[in-house]
Amino acid sequence: MPAREQEIFDRKIEEEIRIEPKDWMPADYRRMLIRQMSQHAHSEIVGMLPEGNWITRAPSLRRKATLIAKVQDEAGHGLYLYSATETLGITRDEMIEQLHAGMAKYSSIFNYPTLTWADIGAIGWLVDGAAIMNQVPLCRASYGPYARAMIRICKEESFHQRQGFEILLTLSRGSEAQKAMCQDAINRWWWPSLMMFGPNDDASPNSRLSMHWKIKRFSNDELRQKFVDACVDQVKTLNMLLPDSEIKWNENREHYDFGEINWEEFYEVIKGNGPCNRDRLEARKKAHAEGAWVREAAAAFAAKKNDSTKHLMYGSHTTS
Amino acid sequence: MDLISTYIIHQADNALILGHRNSEWTGHGPVLEQDIAISNIALDLIGQARYFYQLAAARINESAPGGNITEDDIAYLRDDFEFRNCILAEQENGDWARTLLRQFYFSTYQLLLYQELLKSRDPGIAGICGKSVKETIYHVKWSSEWVIRLGDGTEESRTRMVEAMQTLNPWIPELFIPADFEYEAAATGAGILPDTLKDEWYHRVNRVLESATLPTLLSGKNPLQILSGKRGVHSEHLGHLLAEMQFLQRAYPGCSW
C-alpha cells in the first residue's frame, strides 16, 4: 500500500476535505462508492417505473403534468449519479449491464406495486421522505462528485415529498372511497419505507466502514428513528393511522418506540422474491433492448457525419 | 357551445392527446437523455393543452351564467366522439421511429399554425401561441434531427422510418382539411384556415425527408375522408387512450384530486 498516499487520504477524511476523482483513494473506498452510487443511480431509474405506472391515469391535468415532471426529475437524478459514478472509472454501460444481469442492486422499495392513485401520494410522502432522511447527510459525503450530486437531488426530492403529501391530504379530505384509498396506501407503504434504511446497525457491517470513511454520517437505526418520529406527527395532519399498534412515545429515549420490522420479508425482497422484482427488471431490459437499434443508428449516423456521438445521442434539452 | 370555443378545444385536444402519447414513453425511452427529452415534450404539450382548455372553459362559463366548467371537465368527461383532435395525434407510439415521425409531422404543423395565430384577434389565443411557439420550435428541431439520424443511420433504422411513414402518411391530409369551426375561426379572425399552411408544411417536411434520404411526400388532392377527428369520427385508438386517461374521474365521479 502506498503509505504516503494513504496518509494524505486519511488526513483529508479526518479534516473533512473532499476526495476528488484524481486523488489517490484506497481500492475498497472506490469499490464501496461504486457499489453505493451505482445502486443509487439504478434506484432512480427503476423508481421511474412504479410511478410511471400512473402517468397515463393521473386524475387531473395538473396531477398528470406534476407526475411526468417528477418522474423526469428521477431520470435526471439517475443521470447525475451515473455521471458522478463514472468519475470512479466505470462506464454507464457497464453499470447498466450489471443491473440487467442482476449483479447490481437497486432500492427494494421499488419492487412493491402501485395499485391505486393514493400510492403515488404515499410514495412521495413516505418513500421520498425516507430517501431524503438518507440523502441529506450524503450532501456531506467525503467523495466530492457524490456530495455535489446529492445537493441538487435533495432539493428536488423535498419538493416531491411535499407534492406527495399534498396528494394524500387531498384524498384525506375527500370522499369515503378516497379516504379509504389513502389509508390503504399508507398501510401498504409504511413498512417497506422503514425497510429502506437497511438492516439494524448490528447486522450492517458495510455501514461501519462507510461511516469511518464519512460516506455515511448516521447509522441505519438513527435515520430510521428520525423518520418514524417525523411521520408520527405528519400522519395526524392527514387524520390517518400508521399501521403499527406499538408506536408509542418513550419519555426516556425522547423518541417514538415502534414495532419490529418483518426482516424475513426484507431479505426475501432483496433476494429477488418481492412482488415486482421480475417485472421491474424485465421492463428495464425491454426498454434497453428495444432501444438498441436507436442507439446503433445514432452512432452510425454520427460516424458517417464525423460528428460526436455523445453530442447527438445525448443532446437532450431542459426547459426552465 | 360556440364554434370558437370548439376551435380552442380542438387545439387543446391535439396537444393533450399527443402529449399523453409521448408520456407513455416516460421510463421506457431508448436512452436516458432521450427519455428526458420526450417527457419534456409531453410536459410542454400538456401545458399548452391546459392553457387552451382554461381559455375555452372561461369562454363557456362566461356565456352560461353560473357556469363553472374546468379544464378537467373538458379533458376527462367527454367521450371519444366529442374530442376534436386530428387522428395523427392519437396514433399509437409504435417504435421510436413512429413516435419521432409523428412528432415531426405534428410539430411542424403546430409551429406554422401557432405562428399564424400570434395574429389572432382573440388575445387569449394569441397569448398562448406566443408562449407555445418557442417550445414548438424546439420540438421541430429535436424531431427533425431524429428523422434525419434514423433515415440516414443504419439499414434497420431506415426500414423502420419507411414503415413509420406508411403508417402515418394517411393521416396527413386531415390536418389541412378545414372543419366548420376552422371556417368560423377564420371568418372572425380568431383563427385561420389550415389549408393555407399546406404548401409550406410539405416544403419544410420534404426538406428534412430529403436530408434523411427518405422518400418525399406528394401533396396532391384531398383523399376521401371517411374518418375525421375534427368532426369527432376517430380511429379505434382514441377510445382506449381515453378509457385509461379518464378512468379515475369516471370511476369516482365528482371527487377532487
Residues of chain B with C-beta less than 8 angstroms from the C-beta of A298: 149, 153
Task: Tell whether the model's pLDDT for residue A231 goes beyond 80.
Answer: yes
ipTM of this complex: 0.97
Distance in angstroms (rounded) separating the CA atoms of residues A119 and B192? 45
Q: What is the 3-state secondary structure (H, E, C) of chain A?
A: CCHHHHHHHHHHHHCCCCECCCCCCCHHHHHHHHHHHHHHHHHHHHHHHHHHCCHHHCCCHHHHHHHHHHHHHHHHHHHHHHHHHHCCCCCHHHHHHHHHCCCCCCCHHHHCCCCCHHHHHHHHHHHHHHHHHHHHHHHHCCEHHHHHHHHHHHHHHHHHHHHHHHHHHHHHCCCHHHHHHHHHHHHHHHHHHHHCCCCCHHHCHHHHHHHHCCCCCCCHHHHHHHHHHHHHHHHHHHCCCCCCCCCEEECCCCEEECCCCCHHHHHHHHHHHCCCHHHHHHHHHHHHHHCHHHHHHHHHHHHHCCCCHHHHHHCCCCCC
The residues, any chain, with a CB within 8 Å of residue B225's CB and separated by 6 or more, are B173, B174, B177
DSSP, collapsed to helix, strand or coil, labels residue B228 as: strand
State the distance between the two ends of chain A, measured CA to CA, in whole angstroms. Answer: 48
Choose the weakest-confidence range: A87-91, A212-216, B57-61. A212-216
Of B202, B181, B205, B203, nearest in space to B193 by CA: B181
Residue spans of alpha helices (H) in chain B: 3-23, 32-63, 71-76, 87-90, 96-117, 123-151, 155-168, 173-176, 180-188, 198-211, 236-245, 247-251
Superfamily for domain range B3-215+225-251: Ferritin, core subunit, four-helix bundle (1.20.1260.10)
Chain B residues 14-53 with CB within 8 Å of chain A: 16, 20, 23-24, 26-37, 39-40, 42-44, 46-47, 49-50, 53
Residues of chain B with C-beta less than 8 angstroms from the C-beta of A45: 32
Q: What is the 3-state secondary structure (H, E, C) of A126-150?
A: HHHHHHHHHHHHHHHCCEHHHHHHH
Q: Which three cell numbers stand for residue A99?
A: 443491473
- What does the domain layout of chain B look like in residue ranges? 3-215+225-251
DSSP, collapsed to helix, strand or coil, labels residue B233 as: strand
| Residue with the three cell numbers 378537467 | B72
Q: Do B252 and A177 touch (CB under 8 A)?
A: yes
Whole-number pLDDT of residue A305: 87
Q: Which three cell numbers stand for residue A51?
A: 410511478
Whole-number pLDDT of residue A312: 45
Strand-pair category, A255-257 with A248-250: antiparallel
Distance in angstroms (rounded) separating the CA atoms of residues B36 and B43? 10
A222 φ, ψ (degrees, to nearest 5): -60, -45
Residue pLDDT, tens place only, A10-43: 999 999 999 999 999 999 999 999 999 999 999 9
The dihedral over CA atoms of A93, A94, A96, A100, expressed in degrees to the nearest 10, equals 130
Q: Do B36 and A49 touch (CB under 8 A)?
A: no
Average pLDDT, chain A: 93
Distance in angstroms (rounded) separating the CA atoms of residues B104 and B142? 8
Average pLDDT, chain B: 97
Q: Do A283 and B28 touch (CB under 8 A)?
A: yes
Buried b (16+ CB within 10 A) or exposed e, A131-167: bbbbbbbbbebbbbbbbebbeebbebbbbbbebbbeb
Which of B72, B148, B247 is closest, CB to CB, to A57? B247
Q: Do B50 and A62 touch (CB under 8 A)?
A: yes
Distance in angstroms (rounded) separating the CA atoms of residues A149 and A262? 33
Count of residues for chain B?
257
B219 — pLDDT class (breaks 50, 70, 90): confident
Distance in angstroms (rounded) separating the CA atoms of residues B255 and A67? 19
Q: At what angle do helices A92-100 and A61-86 cross, to 10 degrees?
A: 110
Which of B36, B72, B160 is closest, CB to CB, to A316? B36
Buried b (16+ CB within 10 A) or exposed e, A30-56: eebbbbbbbbbbbbbbbbbbbbbbbbb
Task: Tell whether the model's pLDDT for residue A315 goes beyond 60.
Answer: no
Buried b (16+ CB within 10 A) or exposed e, B82-91: ebbbbbbbbb
Distance in angstroms (rounded) separating the CA atoms of residues B68 and A78? 42
Amino acid code (one letter) for A66: T
Distance in angstroms (rounded) separating the CA atoms of residues A15 and A36? 23
Choose, out of A86, A91, A313, A317, the residue to mutate when testing the contact with B (most B CBs < 10 Å): A317
- The residues facing B228 across adjacent strands are B233
Which of B36, B47, B249 is closest, CB to CB, to A59? B249
Measured between CA atoms, how close is A186 to chain B, in angstroms? 17
**Reported pTM:** 0.95
Q: Do B255 and A291 touch (CB under 8 A)?
A: no
Q: Are B89 and B17 in contact (CB under 8 A)?
A: yes
Whole-number pLDDT of residue A208: 86
High-pLDDT (> 70) share of chain A, %: 95
A319 — pLDDT class (breaks 50, 70, 90): very low
Q: Which three cell numbers stand for residue B41?
A: 415534450
Distance in angstroms (rounded) separating the CA atoms of residues B55 and A229? 46
For chain A, say whether B131 makes contact (Cβ under 8 Å). Answer: no
B65 — pLDDT class (breaks 50, 70, 90): confident
Higher local confidence (pLDDT), A76 or B221: A76
- Identify the top-confidence range among A172-181, A205-214, B58-67: A172-181
High-pLDDT (> 90) share of chain B, %: 95
A317 — pLDDT class (breaks 50, 70, 90): very low
Choose, out of B54, B154, B211, the residue to mutate when testing the contact with A (most A CBs < 10 Å): B154
What mean pLDDT is predicted for residues B170-196?
97
Residues of chain A with C-beta less than 8 angstroms from the C-beta of B107: none
For chain A, say whether B248 makes contact (Cβ under 8 Å). Answer: yes
Measure Cα distances from B36 to A286, A314, B41, B133, B149 in Å.
18, 10, 9, 20, 18
**Count of CB atoms within 10 A of residue A115's CB?**
14
Whole-number pLDDT of residue A310: 47
Task: Tell whether the model's pLDDT for residue A71 goes beyond 70.
Answer: yes
Distance in angstroms (rounded) separating the CA atoms of residues B253 and B23? 25
What mean pLDDT is predicted for residues A69-76?
97
Identify the burial level of A90 via C-beta atoms within 10 angstroms of its C-beta, where 0-12 means exposed, 13-18 middle and 19 or more buried. middle
Whole-number pLDDT of residue A308: 53
The residues, any chain, with a CB within 8 Å of residue A75's CB and separated by 6 or more, are A44, A45, A48, B26, B27, B32, B35, B36, B39
Task: Tell whether the model's pLDDT for residue B50 goes beyond 70.
Answer: yes
Instruction: Tell me which chain B residue has its CA closest to the CA of residue A173.
Output: B256
Q: Which three cell numbers stand for residue A226?
A: 428520525
Q: Are A1 and A28 in contact (CB under 8 A)?
A: no
Residues of chain B with C-beta less than 8 angstroms from the C-beta of A75: 26-27, 32, 35-36, 39
Of A146, A140, A165, A313, nearest in space to A234 by CA: A165
Q: Are B239 and B91 in contact (CB under 8 A)?
A: no
Distance in angstroms (rounded) separating the CA atoms of residues A172 and A178? 7
Q: Return the DSSP state at B170.
A: G
Distance in angstroms (rounded) separating the CA atoms of residues B228 and B187? 22
Residue pLDDT, tens place only, B12-35: 999 999 999 999 999 999 999 999
What mean pLDDT is predicted for residues A172-190?
98
